[in-house]
Amino acid sequence: MSKIKLNTITLPDLPYAIDALEPVISAETLKFHHSKHHKAYVENTARLIEGTDFEGEELLTVINRSAGDPAHAALFNNAAQVYNHSFYWQCMKPNGGGEPEGDLALRIEADFGGYEKFSETFIEAATTLFGSGWVWLVLHNSKLEILKTTNADTPIIYGHTPLLTVDVWEHAYYIDYRNRRPEYLRLWVEKLINWDFVNSNLG
């Protein structure tokens, strides 16, 4: 998916087959997550902006304009979830995971003390996030940081550059792992991360 498509209020096609992430994420989970949950956020966003001064705006504009405004809380929640999910699909690929290469590897070494420390910190952050939300690797003030966001919150409204995210809403893993969130996260990091996409976000 191009960065342009990340800025549109549409349901993107998955960048892989529905069963391509098995056995880490089942086709059943991916089908419900993409064609039910993500689709609903897209449809709700389109409905909420219809006939308003948000209509015709790009997705990121809608998110930033509605953020922090109680009158537009429902719009923010749905629009931000459109973006978060579109970004999340790109963070995974079949036979992914392992250690990153290139500039990202050097930055991880400098800012976390190496890949193993990054992996431990990222998984711990996602394991301990209370309730539903997302855990991100972001670029902030020229440094890599791990950021927790709850519910639909997203780093783009804070001026951070998102590089990687994992979804820790229960619908992302409950069919496959029930309450075993740490197992989902460990396998997700080891087997699915699309480091090419993460590297591309460094710009």
Question: pTM for this structure?
Answer: 0.96
Using one digit for the tens of pLDDT, what is the confidence trace for 25-61? Answer: 999 999 999 999 999 999 999 999 999 999 999 999 9
- Cα separations (Å) of 171 from 28, 132, 167, 193? 11, 9, 9, 19
Q: Examine the domain organization and report whether 152 and 65 are in the same domain.
A: no
Considering the domain boundaries, does residue 179 fall inside one?
A: yes
Q: Which residues pair with 165 in a beta bridge?
A: 136
The total domain count for the chain is: 2
Interior CA angle at 50 toward 49 and 54, to 5°?
A: 40
Mean pLDDT of the chain: 96
Q: Examine the domain organization and report whether 85 and 111 are in the same domain.
A: no
Q: Are 135 and 121 in contact (CB under 8 A)?
A: no
Q: Examine the domain organization and report whether 62 and 149 are in the same domain.
A: no
